[in-house]
Structure 1
Amino acid sequence: MSAVWKYFLLETPQSKTATCNVCKAVVPRGGSSVATYNTTNLIKHLKKHHTKEHDDFLAMGQKDQSRRKESLLQSFQRQGKLPPDNVKAKGITEKLLNFIVLDDQPLSVVENEGFRGLIEYLQPRYSLPSRRYLSETALPELYNRVSTKLAETLKTVPALSFTTDICTSDVCPMSLISLTVHWIDRDTHGLCCVVLQVKKCRGSHNRATIAATITEMLIHWEIPLEKVHAILRDNASNMKAAMEDMAVSSLGCFAHTLQLVVHEGLISQRSVSDALANSRKIVAHFKHSQLAQLEDMQREMQGAGTTTTPTRLVQDVQTRWNSSFYMIKSLLKQKRPLCAYAADHNLPVTLSANEWGLLEKTVTVLEPFEELTRKISSATSTAADVIPAVTVLQRLLAEENSTDSGIKTMKSTLLQAVRRRFSDIESEPLYAVATLVDARYKDRFFTSGETARRGKALLTQELEKMEQALLRASADEAGTTEAEPAEKVACMEAGPSTGGPPGTMKSSFSSLYDRILKEHDEPAAGTQAVVIQMQMYLKEPTIGEKDSPFQYWANNHGRFPLLSAVAAKFLSAPSTSVESERLFSSASNIVDEKRNRLTAERAEMLIFLKKNLTMFK
């Protein structure tokens, strides 16, 4: 609508004339009908008789014209593509890269017709970036941003523990060596675990190559060897020798050693190993054929009208003993349907009544090992769990039961294997000190007074070193060499500690923890300042087995500052290298058949971001 109508009035929309609001003059609208009426005469009237109003009219017309042009430009822009530096476009590109990283998608997904159609439908104005841009620009930028944040965090941590492992790809000639870092957060006292790096391992996997590769990774992250508390590795001789060449403390994977122990036990008794071999043949038969008939048999025995899904049999992997345990349990659960099936169908082998009995007893003996394997494979397991676990296993295997008939050789072999393979763990400083500073165990699980005394002597040395370090740090902050005496810290009043949940049912493995705790004698008194603090801590009751040692130190670091600092160092070490093995499970989803030409550098970035992106956004 023209701005001129601000100065004129119509009696009706069809009127041939308009009345001027300023002088009340009647001005013809021009034309002979409503369709041909115009505003030319009205504008001329303002120009001739009302100069000020005419100038105002012209100014308003220019504003209207500018607004119309701007509106047309905005409409055009809405129909065009978003520029790459647009905030919305950059946000979509970031989410796209997150989708590729976190969901193990190939970078070439942006070239897939279906995916392109989906993005076009969701946001027509967004231009999908090319695979080359994602690979050479977006991915390195995201990697650098996340790795910078991680590096800044690690600089503030005084002691770090690591797990490492080597994996060879099945789809391309690439070997990768991993380094996963573990530490205790000094603010939350929680356990942190982050993938530090996955690097291509060139050449043969000998001690020199492994040592050089891990050293390169530590140098890249600016981590001095003094900050390396321990490296968890597998039990291979090349790994152990590489750690010796690097002059760093290392521990063998507890889970790997446990695997060797159980394997010895399972093959020690011919009747048990034969029953296991027959079990594998039966499971393999149903894995390859006749599965539907067994499921029908299960439904018949469950009763008509049941909606329960039939239980599948579990095939074991001989390199993982617990898979054999799960296989036996699945067979025992389906004992009746299997026997009924065997009455009408041919099986490669059948289990006798004696073999079924042996399998039941084998499950009973292996139950504590399975419980322990789950415990040490958890994300919160530490090196402190090893000595108590071995002590409990030895006590449990040494107990004689009436149900041992038929498996005594296996049980005896298991006990001998545990004693032989773990004979020196109480003398290992990393295990001994870690056990003492874990408030669930303290000094209660050492098998002799001599090993307990050696452990306390090692802890005393660590406390003295930590005391000197804290005093130096305090003096540096204050700009003086004076600091509060350790006696003041050591003699603070001890408060109550928490115990485990009351009234809970415990397995045979867990119940022995309580029995061993009750048998322990009180420690002797000490005289040094650090020993006073240690003795106050050791005399307090232990916390419950299910309680968190990290939470204990979060609540008590003010009472025992030296012990808390030592605990943050020693409890950072896990008991197994499971984290590195889990990492390579993810790596197999990244370097797969569709991405068998992926370079080691790109694979490293994708694995690193897959594990760390959500933590360091």
Structure 2
Amino acid sequence: MLCCEIMAAIMVKAIEDCGLNSLGCMAHTLQLAVHDGVLSQRSISDCMAIGRKIVWHFKHSHLAMSRLGEIQTELGLSKKMLQQDTPTRWNSTFYMMSSLLAQKRALSAYGAEFELPASFSAYQWGLIENAVTLLAPFEELTREISSHTATDSDVIPSVEALKRLLNKSLSTDRGVKTTKATLLEAVKQRFNGIYTKPLYFLATILDPRYNDRFFDQATKQRVTEMLLRQLNKMTELENSTEKERNETEPPLKKTCTKSDGGATSLLDMYGAILEENMATEHQTHQTSPVGQQVNAYLSEPPISRSESPLQFWKSNMSHFPALAQAARKYLSAPCTSVDSERLFSAASNVIDEKRNRLMCEKAEMLLFIKKKHPTLTFTDEVARQSCF
């Protein structure tokens, strides 16, 4: 935990020294919201404590693990280890409770024959199951935003989808209604700051997966005007070579909203918000070329969430030149520091005690190759030829 805090402080300091605008890590904010809304609840924390005792029992006893494996085989269950959690990462606690739920029958059979340091009551098993169901969308979102393709445009739509999901009454709310309400308030409080930063709004409206469909009518007008101001500033800086390059205009790539396969409740919330705002008319009352581009773009149906927004702008660069330039600027910021931290970890595999005299330029080239070609190893002939 201390190392993560030091690394985060270093990255924040580096951004400030460069004079750049910085955004908070969405994954860390989710961690704080889940802790405030769920993990700090007495009934849930008691279940977590019992779960850790059970997992610790099997992690520190080969005999107990062997006996559990035999019971799993007898019950026709796959042999799986119980997962230990890390208090600083809420999703590891989610995985621990999920693994305990998956082995509920095996643990009950084990407890009937052998001694366990603690056990769950029937009520606590039900509470764990409902809590895991409640947190499943948060776990899914954490995986999505931790991807190297996630950008700052994902923040507002994801938060809006989460809030709508938490406002719904479900059959699995029994025993966790108060926890769910507390979690909703924690999400609102922790993410309240995103609605004060123009960068989030501009990135969202420039993402063709979201467009302006995640804003209310007043916010749509405000963000559209904000986008027009930025586009006008950027248009003034365009040079003649860019205009010549865009003279030949390829046909517009037609896109449409498609339903994602295997939709979950969180995905349903994205779709519901898009459908509610699909029929809204978009008028900026602008006759300038930039204003016409904005009108045409906002009239386009959003593309599927499984498609790449950067690929969309690459295909439609000539049709929306000003918007494509703005998208290149505002869709470049990641919404978490996860990928940056992964890069620090990758650097430790390049520069170690046995290669401590590797030049900075060589190490940077190796990291670049590893980032662009994840399937390659640092000992591959391609990497060696590229760097040496």
Query: CA 1:589/1:284 → structure 2, altered by over 3 Å: closer, same or farther?
Result: farther
1:382 and 1:573 in contact (8 A); partners too: yes
1:255 and 1:373 in contact (8 A); partners too: yes
Q: Aligned pair 1:453/2:221, yes or no? A: yes
Query: CA 1:603/1:589 → structure 2, altered by over 3 Å: closer, same or farther?
Result: farther
The CA distance in 1 between the partners of 2:40 and 2:264, in whole Å, is 26
Query: CA 1:502/1:586 → structure 2, altered by over 3 Å: closer, same or farther?
Result: closer
The CA distance in 1 between the partners of 2:359 and 2:48, in whole Å, is 40
Q: Summarize deviations over 1:363-417 as a string: whole Å, max 9, x none.
A: 1110110111111111111111111000000111111223212112221121111
* Structure number with higher helix proportion: 2
- Matching residue of 1:499: 256
2:351 and 2:363 in contact (8 A); partners too: no
Q: Aligned pair 1:267/2:36, yes or no? A: no
Q: Aligned pair 1:570/2:343, yes or no? A: no
Q: Percent identity?
A: 46
Which of 19, 34, 55 matches 1:283?
Answer: 55
TM (normalized to structure 2)?
0.85
Alpha-carbon offset, residue 514 of structure 1: 1.2
2:211 and 2:298 in contact (8 A); partners too: yes
1:499 and 1:543 in contact (8 A); partners too: yes
Letter in 2 for 1:523: H
Runs of 4+ in 1 over 6 A off after TM superposition: none
The CA distance in 1 between the partners of 2:189 and 2:145, in whole Å, is 20
2:145 and 2:336 in contact (8 A); partners too: yes
Query: CA 1:248/1:278 → structure 2, altered by over 3 Å: closer, same or farther?
Result: same
Q: Which runs of 5+ in 2 are unaligned?
A: 373-382
- Matching residue of 1:513: 270
Letter in 2 for 1:458: M
The CA distance in 2 between the partners of 1:555 and 1:263, in whole Å, is 42
Alpha-carbon offset, residue 253 of structure 1: 0.9
- Matching residue of 1:297: 71
Q: Aligned pair 1:535/2:295, yes or no? A: yes
1:298 and 1:310 in contact (8 A); partners too: yes
1:434 and 1:570 in contact (8 A); partners too: yes
Alpha-carbon offset, residue 427 of structure 1: 3.1
Letter in 1 for 2:367: K
- Matching residue of 1:551: 311
- Matching residue of 1:612: 368
1:590 and 1:606 in contact (8 A); partners too: no
Within 5 A, what are the aligned runs for 1:19-418?
A: 234=8, 240=12, 243-244=15-16, 246-289=18-61, 290-302=64-76, 310-418=79-187
Letter in 1 for 2:70: D
Query: CA 1:590/1:282 → structure 2, altered by over 3 Å: closer, same or farther?
Result: farther
Secondary structure of the corresponding residue to residue 424 of structure 1: helix
- Matching residue of 1:27: none
Alpha-carbon offset, residue 519 of structure 1: 1.4
Secondary structure of the corresponding residue to residue 251 of structure 1: coil
Alpha-carbon offset, residue 569 of structure 1: 1.1
Alpha-carbon offset, residue 545 of structure 1: 1.5
Alpha-carbon offset, residue 267 of structure 1: 3.0
Query: CA 1:245/1:378 → structure 2, altered by over 3 Å: closer, same or farther?
Result: closer
Query: CA 1:287/1:607 → structure 2, altered by over 3 Å: closer, same or farther?
Result: farther
Query: CA 1:605/1:344 → structure 2, altered by over 3 Å: closer, same or farther?
Result: farther
Secondary structure of the corresponding residue to residue 23 of structure 2: strand
The CA distance in 1 between the partners of 2:93 and 2:362, in whole Å, is 34
2:253 and 2:316 in contact (8 A); partners too: no
Alpha-carbon offset, residue 493 of structure 1: 11
Q: How many residues align?
A: 366
TM (normalized to structure 1)?
0.55
1:557 and 1:564 in contact (8 A); partners too: yes
Structure number with bigger Rg: 1
Alpha-carbon offset, residue 602 of structure 1: 3.9
2:72 and 2:78 in contact (8 A); partners too: no
Alpha-carbon offset, residue 584 of structure 1: 2.7
* Structure number with higher strand proportion: 1
Secondary structure of the corresponding residue to residue 391 of structure 1: helix
The CA distance in 2 between the partners of 1:606 and 1:346, in whole Å, is 57
Alpha-carbon offset, residue 525 of structure 1: 3.4
1:167 and 1:584 in contact (8 A); partners too: no
Secondary structure of the corresponding residue to residue 155 of structure 2: helix
The CA distance in 1 between the partners of 2:137 and 2:15, in whole Å, is 32
- Matching residue of 2:320: 560
2:255 and 2:303 in contact (8 A); partners too: yes
2:71 and 2:106 in contact (8 A); partners too: yes
Alpha-carbon offset, residue 450 of structure 1: 3.1
Alpha-carbon offset, residue 533 of structure 1: 1.0
2:347 and 2:367 in contact (8 A); partners too: no
Q: Which has the higher contact order (CA 8 A, sep 6+)?
A: 2
Query: CA 1:339/1:610 → structure 2, altered by over 3 Å: closer, same or farther?
Result: farther
Query: CA 1:604/1:275 → structure 2, altered by over 3 Å: closer, same or farther?
Result: farther
The CA distance in 2 between the partners of 1:543 and 1:263, in whole Å, is 34
1:427 and 1:454 in contact (8 A); partners too: no
Letter in 1 for 2:92: S
Secondary structure of the corresponding residue to residue 192 of structure 2: coil
Query: CA 1:382/1:292 → structure 2, altered by over 3 Å: closer, same or farther?
Result: same
Q: Summarize deviations over 1:516-572 as a string: whole Å, max 9, x none.
A: 012113223321412221011001111111111122112211111111111111111
Q: Which runs of 5+ in 1 are unaligned?
A: 1-165, 169-176, 178-204, 206-232, 303-307
Alpha-carbon offset, residue 243 of structure 1: 3.9
1:377 and 1:576 in contact (8 A); partners too: yes
